[in-house]
């Protein structure tokens, strides 16, 4: 374990020399505060940096890392700050390296169906740009309006479309990055096939900013589907809804783009929050199923097959949204759940467990057991189609804050144990960060963890890049 050195005025001066005085923030806690947290609201996960630098070029980043190694100062890279595991939080203080100025589109290569961008480009802007060329970026994090592509790659963000298209990492062909020691390396490239040595690209995808800082990202694009249809299906209970996930794929023989699950609590809270008056009170759970394709007639056949199957298996109602108005309306129910629950109680732990798809029905009673045992609510929603559930323990308003804080680690331990017993993992798309690092043993064996630590040491012998994340070296 390294002992870090303080950020002295001399170091600030050197950082100012590297990136320019305007792009160094220090000494003013009000200005530093936005860089002390991501979207986790609990203060105990926040930590102020000593200094924030906003480099513009790869060489500037390399120089910062060289300085950090020489002086033993921790560096925490930051994208859009929309993370949910603390990846961008400088838990050891030191330098926050913000990538917001590295926001150029370098090249749109339509012949190779790919785009090369800098890490600070907002993910949604990439999709909007390539849409003009009939292409699309299949990575689709839910925070798409604000997150940066660099953060998405670092966290290997999942999101709503993973059932059909997989997660961000599947579309990353290569990166240019600065290593923790300040070397500039290119991994992968504009290639579909590449077995030339270890696949380091895959290794650094999802490494949560602990193995390098991306400076360029090469993204594979797909032909853009022209037609999209969404179904909102109301079920009497969560078991029936969840049970449909595999039935849809195996019996209707269709792989939807997305299958989102909302239990009673989530759907009701969001509908009330939005003043949405669809007959949600009848529903014990809902599925939001999205299909895409290029032929309207085929999509109609597919959604009819799925809709009929849902009705046969006890669905209360199947709503069809095939235009902007209705699609926005039903997706906003799904998108606003987290916000709706913030109104109910700001003390909650947004979890990200993932189990094999066929085991999801077994997870629901476990959550109910948990809610009963601790006398709390555990609303559950998420990307049921890929087994990723955002079960979210919410503080009971009758419990004191101390009670809740004492209780939460036990709740999480129970939740993660249940997940492990169903062959699942503690995080599917939000990452470990410092929020979940004490629970790694629920998903990763000691031997695997030791391998990970050795990889980290090989990349970052001084442990200066994003220390205190995923595990303690």
Q: Which residues bind another protein (CB under 8 A)?
A: 132, 231-232, 277-278, 300, 303-304, 307-308, 311, 317-326, 329-330
Strand, coil or helix: 166? coil
Nearer to another protein (CB atom), residue 234 or residue 355: 234
Nearer to another protein (CB atom), residue 203 or residue 320: 320
Count Cα atoms within 13 angstroms, Cβ side, for 407: 19
Min. distance of Cβ 159 from another protein in angstroms?
20
Nearer to another protein (CB atom), residue 64 or residue 232: 232
For residues 425 and 352, give the distance between their C-alpha atoms in angstroms, rounded to a whole number.
Answer: 9
Min. distance of Cβ 8 from another protein in angstroms?
43
Min. distance of Cβ 290 from another protein in angstroms?
15
Pairing between strand 172-178 and 184-188?
antiparallel
Min. distance of Cβ 234 from another protein in angstroms?
10
Nearer to another protein (CB atom), residue 91 or residue 330: 330
Nearer to another protein (CB atom), residue 125 or residue 304: 304
| Residue 159 CB coordination number (10 Å) | 23
Residues 247, 314, 289, 301, CA torsion sign: positive
For residues 115 and 106, give the distance between their C-alpha atoms in angstroms, rounded to a whole number.
Answer: 8
Pairing between strand 95-98 and 75-78?
parallel
For residues 260 and 61, give the distance between their C-alpha atoms in angstroms, rounded to a whole number.
Answer: 39
Identify the helix (H) or strand (E) that includes residue 53. Answer: strand 51-53
The single residue listed with the structure tokens 């096939």 is 193
CA distance to 296, 322, 448, per residue, from 303 (Å): 11, 10, 43
Strand, coil or helix: 178? strand
Nearer to another protein (CB atom), residue 175 or residue 234: 234
Nearer to another protein (CB atom), residue 22 or residue 277: 277
Distance of CA 473 to the CA centre of its chain: 24
DSSP conformation class of 396:
-
Strand, coil or helix: 228? strand
């Amino acid at each position: 374990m390294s002992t870090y050195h303080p950020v002295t005025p001399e170091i600030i001066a050197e950082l100012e020399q590297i990136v320019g005085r305007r792009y160094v923030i220090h000494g003013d806690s009000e200005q530093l505060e936005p860089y002390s947290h991501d979207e986790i609201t609990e203060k105990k996960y926040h930590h102020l940096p000593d200094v924030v630098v906003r480099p513009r070029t790869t060489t500037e980043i390399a120089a910062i890392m060289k300085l950090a190694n020489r002086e033993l100062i921790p560096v925490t890279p930051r994208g859009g700050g929309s993370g949910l595991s603390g990846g961008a939080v400088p838990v050891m203080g030191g330098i926050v390296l913000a990538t917001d100025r590295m926001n150029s589109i370098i090249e749109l290569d339509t012949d190779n169906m790919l785009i090369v961008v800098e890490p600070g480009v907002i993910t949604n802007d990439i999709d909007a740009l390539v849409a003009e060329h009939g292409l699309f970026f299949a990575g689709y994090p839910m925070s798409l309006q604000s997150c940066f592509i660099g953060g998405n790659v670092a966290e290997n963000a999942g999101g709503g479309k993973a059932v059909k298209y997989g997660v961000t990492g599947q579309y990353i062909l290569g990166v240019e990055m600065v290593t923790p020691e300040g070397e500039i390396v290119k991994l992968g490239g504009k290639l579909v096939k590449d077995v030339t040595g270890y696949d380091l690209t895959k290794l650094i995808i999802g490494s949560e900013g602990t193995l390098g800082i991306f400076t360029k990202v090469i993204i594979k694009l797909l032909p853009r589907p022209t037609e999209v249809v969404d179904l909102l299906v109301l079920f009497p209970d969560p078991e029936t809804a969840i049970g449909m996930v595999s039935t849809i794929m195996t019996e209707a023989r269709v792989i939807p783009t997305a299958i989102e699950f909302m239990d009673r609590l989530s759907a009701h809270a969001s509908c009330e929050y939005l003043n949405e008056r669809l007959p949600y009170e009848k529903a014990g759970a809902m599925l939001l199923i999205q299909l895409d394709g290029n032929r309207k007639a085929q999509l109609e056949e597919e959604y009819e097959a799925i809709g009929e199957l849902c009705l046969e298996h006890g669905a209360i109602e199947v709503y069809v949204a095939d235009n902007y108005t209705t699609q926005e309306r039903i997706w906003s129910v799904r998108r606003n759940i987290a916000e709706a629950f913030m109104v109910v109680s700001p003390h909650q732990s947004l979890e990200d467990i993932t189990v094999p798809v066929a085991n999801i029905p077994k997870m629901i009673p476990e959550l109910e057991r948990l809610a009963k045992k601790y006398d709390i609510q555990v609303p559950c929603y998420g990307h049921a189609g890929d087994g990723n559930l955002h079960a979210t323990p919410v503080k009971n308003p009758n419990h004191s804050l101390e009670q809740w804080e004492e209780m939460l680690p036990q709740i999480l331990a129970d939740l993660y144990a249940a997940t492990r017993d169903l062959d699942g993992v503690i995080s599917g798309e939000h990452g470990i960060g410092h929020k979940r690092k004490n629970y790694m043993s629920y998903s990763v064996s000691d031997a695997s963890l030791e391998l990970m630590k050795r990889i980290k040491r090989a990349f970052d012998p001084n442990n200066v890049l994003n220390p205190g994340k995923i595990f303690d070296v």
